Structure 1
Amino acid sequence: MNRSFNLRRQLLASMAGAALLTAPWVAAAQPAASDKPIRMVVPLAAGSTVDAVARAIAPAFGRATGHPVVVENLVGAGGIPGTTQVVKAPKDGLTLGMISSNHVINPGIYKTIPYDSLKDITPIAVLATVPLVLVVNPALPVKNVAELVAHAKAHPDALNYGSAGNGSTLHLAGELLVSETGIRMKHVPYRGTGPLITDMIGGQVQLGFVSISQVAPQVKAGTLRALAVSTGTRSAALPDVPTLAEAGVPGYSFDAWIALVGPAGLPSPMVESYHAAIKAAMASPEAKTA
């Protein structure tokens, strides 16, 4: 990625997008007037955190709306092809989409996008905020962030860090680390976090940011080493792992988020109904145990 784009501006845009999507809606009860299935488009690979959230809520969301839900992965270019399918869909509530932080970061990365990231969607609900953790292959001779920075400065461009794709939140988290510390590393984009985690364990790439839920087992098993979390506070899932700010990168704080949206212009009663259905789905056993 060209580092000339303003990382700070894009990260602030990401947070602004998250704030927009947390606007309150009043619950009502008017689903789409059809018994056809709802298509839930995930613009990222199967096995990604966004995909996992979609599949966790889909059964209960379907029960709450009275529509079966079909999760469909449409992968590519920072999620743009999948989201394009959503924004261009009929306003009947039968095509919804999952988006994440990169949805509002993409305009600063890609020259042309076939939709307006804010005007062409109808926000339905924020589903999750996703804390990330910086992990390294245990063979890398670093035990903490200070040692990682020192090693990277002593060996510029020798380290490879992976992400779930160009423009992904994992990519931006890595670029922010590069920007804040002045180190030089090579970015290796993957098609999803599953292959990324496999290659970090295998040593094909040395490090990367991944959602805590996806690598906590590997960290506890010792196949990956956690150096720091991306958020401003420590995670209950990895309480002994410091924040990046605590670990020597002052001011570093990066939160990813996931939301459900539809095409612009969905009727308000439908949006309110879907928002209520999402609240019910998030409280379901499937979502709680995912």
Structure 2
Amino acid sequence: MIGSGLAATAALMGSGAIAQTYPNQLVRIIVPFSGGSLTDILARSVAEKLAAKWKQQVIVENRPGIAGVSSVAKGPTDGSQIMLTSNGHSVIGVVNKNLNFDPIKDFAAISRVGSTPSILIVPPDAPFKTLAELIAAAKAKPDSLSYSSAGVGSSTGIAAELFRHLTQTKMVLIPHRGLPESQISIMRGDTSVAFTFFGVGGDLIQSGKLRALAVTGKSRMAQLPDVPTFAEAGLPEFTYDSWFGMLAAAAVPKPIVSQIARDLAEALSDPALIKQFAAQGADIASSTPEAFEAELRSDAERYGKLVAMSTDGAAK
């Protein structure tokens, strides 16, 4: 009894000592999407803030796809490698049946970083100019339209699956490595429909290179005053919160996870940072590790079922 108590005390003291010296080496923030995506943009802003706080080099590495996520799950457990990703993380286990890791159990939730409205886009010369016309076209000729995403299981991919499910339409999925590539396919007319975020596609929408048909949220975006909400466009049941958050490997000591969460909360409270992303339509806000874990598990349950239906063909 005494021996086990001493061992437990020593373990706690050891974890505390680790947290007090963290970070004592370069820290990598892994982004499982290509450069230029909103996740990537957020990660680089966060890295700059944390580097100043920690007085340690913090770099962002883009490792698109499952390989990037796996590298964190199976990577260092000293906090030297963390990940900033989107809510698509919650369903990658459904989309990819043979993962060598569990996207929920093998990760420790650190904090939510922010959220942003999702914007439904089509090519600028598309024959449908309203949401109703798009839905009618998709229903008139099932599988005649294609939709792109920033990758299977990405935030924009989930938005598209939710859209298909609610409208009971059949379209062909064309996944890409990130939002920039997805948007290019829409501009070229290679794909018919996609979702994006203002921070990545706003300039293209405002310049007429992409046409926006609807935006999520209770009110229109100030940056896109002529684009109706889904409720205004006739699909009020389409509600979707695209969040971004930070995760670590599950084996990273809790004191380190807690410290990162606290330091991240401080970084995200910077008025200049909040204003910077507000201009891009993103709401910057942190959360506790416990609250973020609950949100991650809730989304895995809700969207996992939806994506599973689409993957299995039940919703097609």
Structure 1 residues 150, 33: CA separation in 2 closer, same or farther (over 3 Å shift)?
closer
- One-letter code aligned to 1:155: K
8 Å Cα contact 1:102-1:169 kept in structure 2: yes
Give structure 2 stretches of 5+ with no counterpart.
Answer: 1-17, 278-316
2: CA distance, partners of 1:180 / 1:187: 16
Match of 1:289 in 2: 276
Question: Does 1:44 pair with 2:33?
Answer: yes
Residue of 199, 204, 209 corresponding to 1:218:
204
**1:273 corresponds to 2:269:** no
User: CA separation of 1:243/1:31 partners in 2, compared to 1, >3 Å: closer, same or farther?
Assistant: farther
Q: Which amino acid aligns with 2:47?
A: A
Q: Report deviation, 1:75.
A: 1.4
Q: CA RMSD in A?
A: 2.1
1:91 is displaced (CA, Å) by 2.3
User: TM-score, structure 2 length as denominator?
Assistant: 0.75
For the residue of structure 2 that corresponds to 1:119, the secondary structure is coil
Counterpart Cα distance in 2 of 1:32 and 1:247: 53
What SS does structure 1 have at the residue aligned with 2:245?
strand
Task: State the shift of 1:241 in Å.
Answer: 2.0
Q: CA contact under 8 A between 1:31 and 1:274: conserved in structure 2?
A: no
Structure 1 residues 32-41 or 97-106, which shifts more? 32-41
8 Å CA contact retained: 1:31, 1:65: no
Cross-structure match for 1:66 = 55
Which structure has the greater CA radius of gyration? 2
1:138 aligns with 2:127: no
- CA distance in structure 2 between the partners assigned to 1:102 and 1:235 by the alignment: 23
Please list the CA deviations of residues 173-209 of structure 1 after superposition, one character each: whole Å capped at 9, or x if unmatched.
Answer: 1122122112222221111111221221222222210
Deviation at 1:232, TM superposition (A): 4.6
Matched, 1:237 2:226: no
Indicate the residue corresponding to 1:8 in structure 2.
none
Alignment-mate amino acid for residue 55 of structure 2: G
Greater alpha carbon shift after TM alignment, 177-186 vs 279-288: 279-288
Q: Deviation at 1:31? A: 5.3
Aligned to 1:207: 193
More displaced 10-residue stretch of structure 1: 29-38 or 241-250 = 29-38
Aligned to 2:314: none
Residue 68 of structure 1: how far off its partner (Å): 0.7
| Pairing 1:253–2:239 present | yes
Distance in 2 (alpha carbons) for counterparts of 1:215 and 1:90: 35
1:11 counterpart residue number:
none
Separation (CA, whole Å) in 1 of partners of 2:162 and 2:217: 13
Contact 2:23 2:54 in 1 (8 A): no
Give aligned pairs, total: 259
CA distance in 2, matches of 1:68, 1:287: 23
Conservation of the 8 A alpha-carbon contact between 2:82 and 2:248: yes
Amino acid at match of 1:140: A
Structure 1 residues 232-275: Cα deviation after superposition (integer angstroms, max 9, x where no partner): 54333324322223312241111111111111143333223212
1:287 Cα shift? 6.7
Q: CA deviation at 1:32?
A: 4.5
SS in 2 for 1:172: helix
> How many percent identity over aligned positions?
34
Q: Secondary structure at the match of 1:108?
A: helix
Q: 1:81 maps to which residue?
A: 67
1:198 and 2:145 aligned: no
TM-score (norm 1): 0.82
Q: Partner of 1:184: helix, strand, or coil? A: coil
Partners of 1:218 and 1:31 lie apart in 2 by: 46
Corresponding residue for residue 42 of structure 2:
53
- Alignment gaps of 5+ in structure 1: 1-28
Tell me which protein shows more helix as a share of its residues: 2
CA contact (8 A) 1:282 1:288 kept: no
Match of 2:12 in 1: none
Q: Which amino acid aligns with 1:113?
A: L
Q: How much does 1:34 deviate?
A: 4.9
